[in-house]
């Protein structure tokens, strides 16, 4: 997993854990249940409830977290789940083809990443640059795609790097960016 993806994942998970820990704490207090009583009902330690409420839900397994949510009558979505609104976008569309000019290469810490650029036609199903079918979710975990090169949930690259490059990653990425800029100047 690239360093950028690890950092992004940590920030996302921290915000996710803090928000849902706060919601669970408010629900527990509204029901007049102590941390010790909730822990007994859920089959865990009181200290785990305290850590969960302070944003460290990794102290609990998913099954225990689900039991706590059920005890409190609160729904806690999986990290990376799409928003519950009916008009929520299913993810940012991107072209999965590494050679497409919509995917701009760059290197971070020696690792090649391809940054999918926005598609010019809203609502399209095919890439406006190469004709490939657009994708809207991470290929590894199926979380809705967001802006950036890596999935915010699992850290996988949205677009895999090319299988073979004729030069080292930095040289190849630099040459590819120049070719994309030239292509855009001719078409643009």
Tokens of 83: 């928003």
Q: Is 85 a member of any domain?
A: no
pLDDT single digits (tens) 99-133: 899 999 988 888 889 999 888 776 678 888 888 88
For range 19-46, the mean pLDDT: 84
Mapping DSSP onto H, E and C, the string for 4-25 reads HHHHHHHHHHHHHHHHHHHHHH
- On whether both 121 and 172 belong to a single domain, the answer is yes
CA angle 53, 18, 2 (to 5 degrees): 130
Residues 120 and 173 in one domain: yes
The distance of Cα 8 from the centroid of its chain, to the nearest Å, equals 8
Tell me the pTM: 0.51
Question: What percent of the chain stands above pLDDT 70?
Answer: 76
Q: What are phi and psi of 122, to 5 degrees?
A: -65, 135
Q: Are residues 115 and 51 in the same domain?
A: no
| Residue 61 and residue 121 in one domain | no
Instruction: Identify the domain containing residue 11 by its residue range.
Output: 3-72
Residue 125: half-sphere exposure toward Cβ, Cα within 13 Å: 0
User: CA–CA separation, 153 vs 5, rounded Å?
Assistant: 9
Residues 54 and 129 in one domain: no
Assigned domain for 58 exists: yes
Q: Mean pLDDT throughout 48-74?
A: 78
């Amino acid at each position: 997993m690239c360093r950028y993806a690890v950092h992004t994942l940590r920030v996302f998970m921290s915000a996710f854990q803090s928000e849902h820990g706060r919601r669970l704490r408010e629900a527990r207090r509204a029901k007049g249940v102590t941390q010790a009583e909730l822990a007994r009902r859920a089959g865990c330690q009181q200290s785990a409830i305290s850590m969960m409420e302070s944003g460290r839900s990794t102290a609990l397994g998913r099954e225990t977290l689900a039991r706590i949510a059920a005890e409190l009558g609160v729904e806690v979505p999986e990290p990376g789940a799409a928003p519950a609104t009916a008009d929520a976008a299913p993810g940012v569309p991107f072209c999965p083809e590494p050679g497409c000019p919509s995917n701009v290469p760059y290197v971070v810490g020696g690792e090649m990443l391809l940054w999918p650029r926005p598609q010019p036609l809203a609502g399209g199903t095919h890439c406006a640059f190469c004709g490939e079918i657009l994708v809207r979710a991470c290929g590894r975990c199926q979380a809705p795609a967001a802006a950036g090169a890596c999935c915010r949930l699992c850290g996988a690259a949205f677009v895999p790097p090319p299988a073979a490059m004729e030069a080292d990653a930095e040289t190849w990425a630099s040459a590819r960016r120049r070719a994309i800029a030239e292509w855009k100047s001719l078409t643009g």
